[in-house]
Protein backbone atom coordinates (compact mmCIF):
# COMPACT_ATOMS: atom_id res chain seq x y z
CA UNK A 1 0.00 0.00 0.00
CA UNK A 2 1.49 3.31 -1.15
CA UNK A 3 0.79 6.21 1.21
CA UNK A 4 -0.02 9.36 -0.74
CA UNK A 5 -0.47 13.09 -0.13
CA UNK A 6 -2.53 14.91 -2.78
CA UNK A 7 -1.68 18.59 -3.31
CA UNK A 8 -3.83 20.79 -5.58
CA UNK A 9 -5.47 24.19 -5.06
CA UNK A 10 -8.68 22.99 -6.74
CA UNK A 11 -10.88 20.84 -4.53
CA UNK A 12 -12.55 19.17 -7.53
CA UNK A 13 -9.13 18.16 -8.89
CA UNK A 14 -8.19 16.67 -5.52
CA UNK A 15 -11.48 14.75 -5.36
CA UNK A 16 -11.05 13.34 -8.87
CA UNK A 17 -7.47 12.25 -8.15
CA UNK A 18 -8.49 10.60 -4.87
CA UNK A 19 -11.24 8.71 -6.71
CA UNK A 20 -8.78 7.52 -9.33
CA UNK A 21 -6.30 6.45 -6.66
CA UNK A 22 -9.07 4.45 -5.00
CA UNK A 23 -9.67 2.65 -8.30
CA UNK A 24 -6.02 1.65 -8.70
CA UNK A 25 -5.09 -1.99 -8.15
CA UNK A 26 -1.70 -3.63 -7.72
CA UNK A 27 -0.17 -1.59 -6.28
CA UNK A 28 -2.88 0.11 -4.29
CA UNK A 29 -2.70 3.60 -2.87
CA UNK A 30 -3.95 5.05 0.40
CA UNK A 31 -4.56 8.81 0.50
CA UNK A 32 -3.32 9.88 3.92
CA UNK A 33 -4.10 13.54 3.37
CA UNK A 34 -4.63 16.43 1.02
CA UNK A 35 -3.41 20.00 0.84
CA UNK A 36 -4.48 23.08 -1.13
CA UNK A 37 -1.02 24.60 -1.35
CA UNK A 38 2.66 23.98 -0.67
CA UNK A 39 2.56 25.44 2.85
CA UNK A 40 -0.22 23.09 3.91
CA UNK A 41 1.67 20.20 2.35
CA UNK A 42 4.86 20.95 4.31
CA UNK A 43 2.87 21.28 7.53
CA UNK A 44 1.21 17.91 6.89
CA UNK A 45 4.53 16.21 6.17
CA UNK A 46 5.97 17.45 9.46
CA UNK A 47 3.54 15.11 11.24
CA UNK A 48 2.95 12.30 8.74
CA UNK A 49 5.14 9.95 6.71
CA UNK A 50 4.09 9.39 3.11
CA UNK A 51 5.64 7.47 0.25
CA UNK A 52 4.61 9.86 -2.50
CA UNK A 53 3.33 13.39 -3.09
CA UNK A 54 1.07 13.95 -6.10
CA UNK A 55 1.24 17.70 -6.66
CA UNK A 56 -0.14 20.24 -9.09
CA UNK A 57 2.45 22.72 -10.41
CA UNK A 58 0.38 25.90 -10.80
CA UNK A 59 -0.84 26.90 -7.34
CA UNK A 60 -1.16 30.30 -5.61
CA UNK A 61 1.95 31.27 -3.63
CA UNK A 62 4.64 28.61 -3.57
CA UNK A 63 3.99 26.39 -6.56
CA UNK A 64 4.57 22.66 -7.01
CA UNK A 65 8.14 23.15 -8.22
CA UNK A 66 9.02 25.06 -5.05
CA UNK A 67 7.36 22.31 -3.02
CA UNK A 68 9.50 19.71 -4.76
CA UNK A 69 12.65 21.68 -3.95
CA UNK A 70 11.61 21.83 -0.29
CA UNK A 71 10.92 18.09 -0.19
CA UNK A 72 14.44 17.35 -1.42
CA UNK A 73 15.77 18.79 1.84
CA UNK A 74 13.96 16.22 3.96
CA UNK A 75 16.02 13.33 5.43
CA UNK A 76 13.78 10.80 3.66
CA UNK A 77 11.98 12.68 0.88
CA UNK A 78 8.86 11.11 -0.62
CA UNK A 79 8.63 10.44 -4.33
CA UNK A 80 7.18 13.37 -6.27
CA UNK A 81 4.72 12.97 -9.13
CA UNK A 82 3.49 16.16 -10.81
CA UNK A 83 -0.12 16.27 -11.96
CA UNK A 84 -0.77 19.32 -14.13
CA UNK A 85 -2.64 20.63 -17.15
CA UNK A 86 0.51 22.24 -18.49
CA UNK A 87 3.30 20.27 -20.14
CA UNK A 88 5.86 23.06 -20.48
CA UNK A 89 7.35 22.38 -17.04
CA UNK A 90 8.18 18.73 -17.75
CA UNK A 91 11.92 19.27 -18.20
CA UNK A 92 12.19 21.39 -15.07
CA UNK A 93 10.17 18.82 -13.15
CA UNK A 94 12.53 15.98 -14.03
CA UNK A 95 15.51 18.18 -13.16
CA UNK A 96 14.00 18.23 -9.68
CA UNK A 97 14.06 14.42 -9.78
CA UNK A 98 10.30 14.08 -10.06
CA UNK A 99 9.47 10.42 -10.49
CA UNK A 100 6.74 11.04 -13.05
CA UNK A 101 4.74 13.77 -14.79
CA UNK A 102 1.02 13.31 -15.43
CA UNK A 103 -1.10 15.66 -17.51
CA UNK A 104 -4.72 16.44 -16.73
CA UNK A 105 -7.16 14.92 -17.24
CA UNK A 106 -5.34 11.99 -15.65
CA UNK A 107 -6.15 8.56 -17.06
CA UNK A 108 -6.45 5.63 -14.70
CA UNK A 109 -3.91 3.45 -16.55
CA UNK A 110 -1.39 6.31 -16.58
CA UNK A 111 -1.81 6.86 -12.85
CA UNK A 112 -1.43 3.13 -12.26
CA UNK A 113 1.86 3.21 -14.18
CA UNK A 114 3.09 6.03 -11.94
CA UNK A 115 2.25 3.97 -8.85
CA UNK A 116 4.28 1.09 -10.28
CA UNK A 117 7.28 3.43 -10.54
CA UNK A 118 6.79 4.51 -6.92
CA UNK A 119 6.56 0.90 -5.79
CA UNK A 120 9.82 0.02 -7.55
CA UNK A 121 11.59 2.94 -5.87
CA UNK A 122 10.22 1.89 -2.49
CA UNK A 123 11.71 -1.58 -2.98
CA UNK A 124 15.12 -0.05 -3.64
CA UNK A 125 15.10 2.11 -0.50
CA UNK A 126 16.61 0.20 2.46
CA UNK A 127 14.14 -0.12 5.27
CA UNK A 128 15.20 0.74 8.78
CA UNK A 129 15.73 -2.42 10.84
CA UNK A 130 13.18 -2.98 13.59
CA UNK A 131 14.21 -1.44 16.86
CA UNK A 132 15.73 -3.98 19.19
CA UNK A 133 14.15 -4.43 22.57
CA UNK A 134 16.24 -2.67 25.17
CA UNK A 135 17.93 -5.08 27.56
CA UNK A 136 17.20 -4.36 31.20
CA UNK A 137 17.94 -5.68 34.66
CA UNK A 138 14.80 -6.15 36.73
CA UNK A 139 15.58 -5.05 40.28
CA UNK A 140 13.22 -5.39 43.21
CA UNK A 141 13.18 -2.55 45.70
CA UNK A 142 10.95 -1.69 48.60
CA UNK A 143 9.26 0.97 46.54
CA UNK A 144 8.53 -1.44 43.70
CA UNK A 145 10.25 -2.84 40.62
CA UNK A 146 12.97 -1.02 38.68
CA UNK A 147 13.67 -1.87 35.04
CA UNK A 148 17.24 -0.65 34.69
CA UNK A 149 18.61 -0.41 31.11
CA UNK A 150 21.94 -2.20 30.74
CA UNK A 151 23.25 0.84 28.87
CA UNK A 152 23.25 2.69 32.21
CA UNK A 153 25.17 0.04 34.15
CA UNK A 154 28.88 0.75 34.70
CA UNK A 155 29.83 -2.29 36.75
CA UNK A 156 28.46 -5.34 38.56
CA UNK A 157 30.22 -6.39 41.76
CA UNK A 158 29.52 -9.46 43.88
CA UNK A 159 29.23 -8.70 47.59
CA UNK A 160 27.98 -11.45 49.93
CA UNK A 161 24.77 -12.82 48.40
CA UNK A 162 23.94 -9.72 46.36
CA UNK A 163 25.31 -7.99 43.28
CA UNK A 164 25.97 -4.27 43.50
CA UNK A 165 24.74 -2.72 40.26
CA UNK A 166 26.39 0.67 39.78
CA UNK A 167 25.26 3.46 37.49
CA UNK A 168 26.61 6.98 37.26
CA UNK A 169 23.93 8.24 39.64
CA UNK A 170 23.41 5.48 42.23
CA UNK A 171 23.77 1.83 43.23
CA UNK A 172 21.21 -0.99 43.31
CA UNK A 173 21.23 -4.42 44.91
CA UNK A 174 20.41 -7.38 42.68
CA UNK A 175 20.00 -10.98 43.81
CA UNK A 176 21.73 -12.87 41.02
CA UNK A 177 24.79 -14.89 40.02
CA UNK A 178 27.75 -12.95 38.65
CA UNK A 179 28.71 -15.91 36.46
CA UNK A 180 25.25 -16.05 34.93
CA UNK A 181 25.32 -12.32 34.23
CA UNK A 182 28.74 -12.68 32.62
CA UNK A 183 27.50 -15.44 30.31
CA UNK A 184 24.28 -13.67 29.40
CA UNK A 185 25.82 -10.26 28.71
CA UNK A 186 29.32 -11.19 27.54
CA UNK A 187 29.15 -8.67 24.68
CA UNK A 188 28.51 -5.82 27.10
CA UNK A 189 30.53 -6.71 30.19
CA UNK A 190 34.03 -8.01 30.87
CA UNK A 191 35.24 -9.81 33.96
CA UNK A 192 38.14 -7.98 35.58
CA UNK A 193 38.20 -9.85 38.89
CA UNK A 194 36.57 -12.86 40.46
CA UNK A 195 34.04 -10.50 42.00
CA UNK A 196 33.50 -7.86 39.30
CA UNK A 197 32.30 -7.23 35.77
CA UNK A 198 32.67 -3.86 34.08
CA UNK A 199 30.89 -2.35 31.10
CA UNK A 200 33.27 -2.57 28.15
CA UNK A 201 32.14 0.82 26.83
CA UNK A 202 32.90 2.52 30.18
CA UNK A 203 36.55 1.42 30.62
CA UNK A 204 38.85 4.41 30.18
CA UNK A 205 42.18 3.66 31.86
CA UNK A 206 44.31 0.96 33.45
CA UNK A 207 46.52 2.21 36.27
CA UNK A 208 48.73 1.06 39.12
CA UNK A 209 46.81 0.50 42.32
CA UNK A 210 47.45 -0.56 45.92
CA UNK A 211 44.84 -2.87 47.36
CA UNK A 212 44.79 -3.29 51.18
CA UNK A 213 44.20 -7.05 50.81
CA UNK A 214 46.10 -7.93 47.64
CA UNK A 215 48.89 -5.34 47.79
CA UNK A 216 50.32 -3.69 44.67
CA UNK A 217 48.44 -4.36 41.50
CA UNK A 218 46.28 -2.78 38.80
CA UNK A 219 42.85 -1.19 38.61
CA UNK A 220 40.53 0.17 35.94
CA UNK A 221 39.02 3.63 35.90
CA UNK A 222 35.52 3.98 34.46
CA UNK A 223 33.58 6.85 33.04
CA UNK A 224 30.96 8.18 35.44
CA UNK A 225 32.29 6.97 38.81
CA UNK A 226 35.14 8.14 41.02
CA UNK A 227 36.22 4.79 42.44
CA UNK A 228 38.55 2.42 40.66
CA UNK A 229 38.10 -1.36 40.50
CA UNK A 230 40.87 -3.86 41.10
CA UNK A 231 42.00 -6.08 38.21
CA UNK A 232 43.20 -9.60 38.94
CA UNK A 233 46.46 -10.86 37.44
CA UNK A 234 44.52 -13.44 35.45
CA UNK A 235 42.43 -10.76 33.74
CA UNK A 236 45.16 -8.14 33.35
CA UNK A 237 46.13 -8.93 29.75
CA UNK A 238 42.51 -8.88 28.53
CA UNK A 239 41.83 -5.57 30.25
CA UNK A 240 45.04 -4.08 28.86
CA UNK A 241 43.98 -5.13 25.34
CA UNK A 242 40.56 -3.53 25.81
CA UNK A 243 42.09 -0.25 26.97
CA UNK A 244 44.56 -0.25 24.08
CA UNK A 245 41.78 -0.77 21.56
CA UNK A 246 39.62 2.05 22.97
Other beta carbons within 10 angstroms of residue 186's beta carbon come to 12
Q: Does residue 31 lie within any of the structural domains?
A: yes
Q: Does residue 206 lie within any of the structural domains?
A: yes
Distances (CA, A) of 212 to 160, 217, 230, 235: 19, 10, 11, 19
Q: What is the pLDDT along the chain (246 residues), one digit of tens a residue?
A: 899 999 999 999 999 999 999 999 888 999 999 999 998 998 898 888 999 999 998 888 888 888 888 888 777 889 999 988 876 655 555 555 678 888 889 999 999 999 999 998 887 555 544 444 568 898 988 878 888 999 999 999 998 889 999 999 999 999 989 998 998 888 899 999 999 999 999 999 999 988 777 778 999 999 999 999 999 999 999 999 888 876
Give the range of the structural domain holding residue 75, as residue numbers without chain letter: 2-124
Q: Does residue 131 lie within any of the structural domains?
A: no
Long-range (24+ apart) CB contacts under 8 A made by 15-19 are: 16/105, 16/106, 17/54, 17/83, 17/106, 17/111
Distances (CA, A) of 23 to 12, 95, 105, 122, 192: 17, 30, 15, 21, 66
HSE-CB at 229 with a 13 A cutoff on CA atoms is: 29
Q: How many separate domains does the chain show?
A: 2
* Claim to verify: residue 52 and residue 88 sit in the same structural domain: yes
* Claim to verify: residue 6 and residue 119 sit in the same structural domain: yes
Q: Does residue 155 lie within any of the structural domains?
A: yes
Q: Does residue 38 lie within any of the structural domains?
A: yes
Amino acid sequence: MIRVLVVDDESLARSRLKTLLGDCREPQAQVLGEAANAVQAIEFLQHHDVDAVLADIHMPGADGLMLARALRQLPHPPAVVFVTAFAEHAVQAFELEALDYLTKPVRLERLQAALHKIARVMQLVPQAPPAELEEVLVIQERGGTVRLPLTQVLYLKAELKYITVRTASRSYLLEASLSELETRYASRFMRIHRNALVARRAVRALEKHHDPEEGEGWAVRLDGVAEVLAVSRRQLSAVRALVSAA
